[in-house]
Amino acid sequence: MSGLLQAFVDGLINPFTTPAHLLTLLALALIMASQPQRLAVLFVFALALAAGFLAIVLAVETTPARTVLLAVAAALGAMVAAAWAPKLLAVLFAAIAGAALALDSPPQAVTLAEAYATLVGTAIGACVMLIAVATIPGYANAEWQRLGERILGSWIAASAILVLAVQLR
Amino acid sequence: MRDPEHSNIASALGVAFIAALLLACRPAVAHIVDGSATGGFVGGFAHPLFGLDHVVAMVAVGLWGAFLGPPAIWLLPITFPMVMAIGGAIAILGVPVPGVEIGIALSAIVLGGMIALAASPPLVIAALIVGAFAIFHGHAHGAELPPGTDAVAFSVGFVLATGLLHLAGVALGLLTRWPAGRTGVRVAGIGIALVGAVFLSKAI
């Protein structure tokens, strides 16, 4: 596999294999699924992701992006558990999650082209995951499936709270 | 109206997808991994399963929820992990909580006793009881977080195992639909309380 393709694939699988990213995207997808205007949430997330990547390209130094990402995951998970998702909060957290996810995904590439390939891969991977997971609750109409979503939200919140504590220690 | 068969297949695929994602989880490269069996997701997942006092209390939460019926059947398993995480965070931040082991043993005694007596307090009281004990369980787990472990993967594994123990309790609790099952679940409550009593005698 060429270096460019390898860099793209590394970026593509990054949201699936980094637990903090996975937690945040799962929670955001569940919140997105509860919104009548899902595309608005997705659009804001993608825009913030792009802004975050632009900041990386402009060589922004180390940020507390991981901590912010986990705080967002905890809040979104709690919202899923409570089955409470006002549109404004959903859009706000989508923006923060997008920017933080991008800033927490600096490419480890050797060349500039590979770095860009990694960033593009990460953006596609994150958006695909968001869309795919957000589609599932549309088919989950049974009561136990709705409850399953809320339980999953509580697990996401609990995991994120614990890791936040480790980061703030 | 959706086709129920289509809905079931889609749901099963959805569950499989999420399970695959969780199983595909690997530690972030930037984190330090100690390389031992206690590190990362597997270590976190195994952690709640190796303490009988934890296991019986977790199962008891699900059993009691099922015994109380909706909405407790889902409210208790949602309340417990979130409050437990707060207890874990307290431990990680170095704030001591007195009598953690006693609290954990008491949780098995009280929750087992509630099941054995088929107690049905108001939902708020049940949630408060479960939440109070969750602090002790969370504190014990948080204090035992191995240094150098990937904290995210560990926490995900640990919370997932705890949640699955609750769901196991809920599944067992569904036996209460039948008279014989109801008796069996109450007997299980006695067993849980006895296990708690043994641990309490060791903790005192």
Q: What is the pLDDT of residues A28-61, one digit of tens each?
A: 999 999 998 889 999 999 999 999 999 988 877 7
Residues A161 and A139: their CA atoms lie apart, in Å, by 29
Q: What is the DSSP letter of A36?
A: S
Q: In the prediction, which pLDDT does B13 show? A: 44
Q: Which residues on B lie below 8 Å from A70 (Cβ)?
A: 152
**Mean pLDDT of all residues in A123-139:** 90
Q: In the prediction, which pLDDT does B38 show? A: 46
Q: Closest by alpha carbon to A80, among A11, A40, A33, A116?
A: A33
Q: What percent of chain A has pLDDT over 70?
A: 99
Q: Closest by alpha carbon to A160, among B155, B107, B142?
A: B155
pTM for the structure as a whole: 0.83
Q: Which residues on B lie below 8 Å from A168 (Cβ)?
A: 93
Q: Which one of A108, A140, A167 has the shortest CB-CB distance to B11?
A: A140
Q: Which residues on A lie below 8 Å from B159 (Cβ)?
A: 155, 158-159, 162
**Mean pLDDT of all residues in A17-22:** 88
Q: Closest by alpha carbon to B83, among B142, B40, B39?
A: B142
Report for A91-100, A138-147, B142-151: range of highest mean pLDDT: A91-100
Residue A47 CB neighbours (<10 A): 14
Q: Which residues of chain B have pLDDT under 50?
A: 1-38
Which residues does A contribute to its contact with B (CB < 8 Å)? 16-20, 22-23, 26, 70, 78, 81, 108, 132-133, 136-137, 139-142, 145, 147-148, 150-155, 157-169
Distance from CA of A149 to the nearest CA of B (A): 10
Query: What is each CA distance from B46 to A72, A92, B49, B94, in whole angstroms?
Result: 27, 36, 5, 23
Q: In the prediction, which pLDDT does A124 show? A: 95
Q: Which residues on B lie below 8 Å from A142 (Cβ)?
A: 7, 11
Q: Name A28's Cβ contacts closer than 8 Å, sequence gap at least 6.
A: A41, A45, A72, A76, A93, A94, A97, A130
CB contact under 8 A, A162 and B88: yes
Q: Check if the beta carbon of residue A22 is closer than 8 Å to that of residue B25.
A: yes
Distance from CA of A157 to the nearest CA of B (A): 7
State the complex-level ipTM: 0.82
3-state secondary structure chain B: CCCHHHHHHHHHHHHHHHHHHHHHCCCCCCCCCCCCCCCHHHHHHHHHHHCHHHHHHHHHHHHHHHHHCCCHHHHHHHHHHHHHHHHHHHHHCCCCCCCHHHHHHHHHHHHHHHHHCCCCCCHHHHHHHHHHHHHHHHHHHHHCCCCCCCHHHHHHHHHHHHHHHHHHHHHHHHHHHCHHHHHHHHHHHHHHHHHHHHHHHHHC
Q: What is the pLDDT of residues A96-114, one digit of tens each?
A: 999 999 999 988 877 889 9
Residues A149 and B186: their CA atoms lie apart, in Å, by 29
Say yes or no to pLDDT of A76 above 50: yes
Q: Is the peptide bond before B81 cis (omega within 30 degrees of 0)?
A: no
Q: What percent of chain A has pLDDT over 90?
A: 64
Q: In the prediction, which pLDDT does B106 show? A: 96
Residue A37 in 3-state DSSP? coil
Q: In the prediction, which pLDDT does A33 show? A: 92
Q: In the prediction, which pLDDT does B21 show? A: 44
Residue A78: phi and psi, rounded to 5, are -65, -35
Residue type at B96? P
Distance from CA of A162 to the nearest CA of B (A): 5
Say yes or no to pLDDT of A131 above 90: yes
CB contact under 8 A, B155 and A168: no
Q: In the prediction, which pLDDT does B142 show? A: 87
